[in-house]
Amino acid sequence: MLVYEYVDNGNLEQWLHGDVGPVSPLTWDIRMKIAIGTAKGLAYLHEGLEPKVVHRDVKSSNILLDKKWNPKVSDFGLAKLLGSEASYVTTRVMGTFGYVSPEYASTGMLNEGSDVYSFGVLLMEIITGRSPIDYSRPPGEMNLVDWFKGMVASRHGEEIVDPLIEVQPSPRALKRALLVCLRCIDMDANKRPKMGQIVHMLEADDFPFRTVSPVACFLHNLVQFIPEY
């Protein structure tokens, strides 16, 4: 039996998708605090341990929140160990629909890149307040990743922010978060950033990030269309 310390604010899912009234208690700054804290936790699992730990079930219901909104990554029931000599481990596909990376879902080949993809979906969820899969929405909006990419590609990135956030983020802060999302869900798992890099990207004041990656440059050009106001 695994016992966690008591957390006053339950899990992230209930705050994003529960009945919180007309204004969410989760301000933009609190949401970014949760995202950064979660990224740091995953970075420790991937880069601070040997063998590294792949969580395999990163999702909002597995992010516990204390009274100061500090996040704690929970539920390691599906976690897998990955030694330094191994680039992946082949395993039965597990996880939660909507968060699982495409390459893991199709091949069963798992590494930390799968957690990075799941974190990207989680960050989209944090930004938009939408569930990864929501069959109550119109056909083009049921899948969060597809809808999100379409909104950014059509220059409507500023319209995706959760309407329950009373004070909207600055264009600069939003661009930073959108770019991180898009980098995390790159269909080429080898081009996704490491979790340690993601922490830096979310905390960085020097946005746009320095990069020579053509994909990153293309994504950066997309989010530049968010208007300054």
Residue from 49, 169, 45, 173 nearest 118 by CA: 45
Backbone angles phi, psi at 8, to 5 degrees: -65, -35
Model confidence pLDDT, tens digit, residues 144-175: 999 999 999 999 999 999 999 999 999 999 99
Tokens read off for 50: 């040997």
Residue 229 or 206, more confident: 206
Contacts of 40 (CB under 8 A, 6+ apart): 199
The residue ranges of DSSP E strands in the chain, in sequence order, are 52-54, 63-65, 71-73, 80-82, 89-90, 109-110
Mean local confidence (pLDDT), 203-207: 76
pLDDT band at 124 (very low <50, low <70, confident <90, very high): very high
Query: What tokens appear for 220 in the block?
Result: 């950066």
Share of the chain above pLDDT 90, in %: 83
**pTM, rounded to two decimals:** 0.91
Q: How, if at all, do strands 71-73 and 52-54 pair?
A: unpaired
Query: Which of the two residues, 139 and 222, has the higher pLDDT score?
Result: 139
**Residues noted as catalytic:** 57
**Which domains does the chain show, CATH number per domain?**
12-223 (1.10.510.10)
> What is the reported pLDDT for 212?
44
Reply yes or no: is the peptide bond before residue 208 cis, omega within 30 of 0: yes
* Apex 172 CA angle, 33 and 181, nearest 5: 60
Phi-psi group of 129: left, alpha or beta (phi > 0 → left; psi -120 to 50 → alpha; rest → beta):
left
- The structure tokens listed for 87 are 């680039």
Q: Cα–Cα distance between 132 and 145 in angstroms, integer? A: 7
pLDDT per residue over 179-200, tens digit each?
A: 999 999 999 999 999 999 999 9
3-class SS shares of the chain: helix, strand, coil, % to 5: 45, 10, 45
Q: How confident is the model at residue 204 (pLDDT cuts 50, 70, 90)?
A: confident
